[in-house]
Structure 1
Amino acid sequence: MSTPSTPGSALEEPDRALVLALSQASRVAAERVALTALIARGDRVDVPGLFGRLTAAHTARMAAAGLNN
């Protein structure tokens, strides 16, 4: 996946960090059954919920730092 690297591009550095974190989390969850069990709810793995919580926390941190758009 190619991402723009010029200032003002669609993906700024904080966004790139989030995309990388989500990508790595997805890879690790697929490779580590025990870790996946930690984020599982009942019989289902709530990966979308985990990503939603990660994204919400990231957005709150960026807003607190004055980096929200």
Structure 2
Amino acid sequence: MAQRHLNSWFKSTKSGPNCDNCVDIKFNGGGNVEVRSSRDPQGPTIVFDAGEWDAFIAGAKAGEFDIPAHAR
């Protein structure tokens, strides 16, 4: 995993170079992670603490948040 700097926004390397349908992530320190829409970088954000973020990432890796085929 690439080293991320505190307080710097980034998006996944899985995103295309001109992609605007992604989320941006920023590690704020103290375990807090901030998330925003890349389509609206000046818009609202949501902040997760370390435990919340770890639980979300584990669920995402396990496929818990995959969009069901009938919902596409």
Larger Rg: 1
TM-score bracket for the superposition, by shorter chain length: 0.3 to 0.5
Give me the TM-score of the superposition, normalised by structure 2.
0.31
Structure 1 or 2: more helix by fraction = 1
Structure 1 or 2: more strand by fraction = 2
Give me the TM-score of the superposition, normalised by structure 1.
0.32
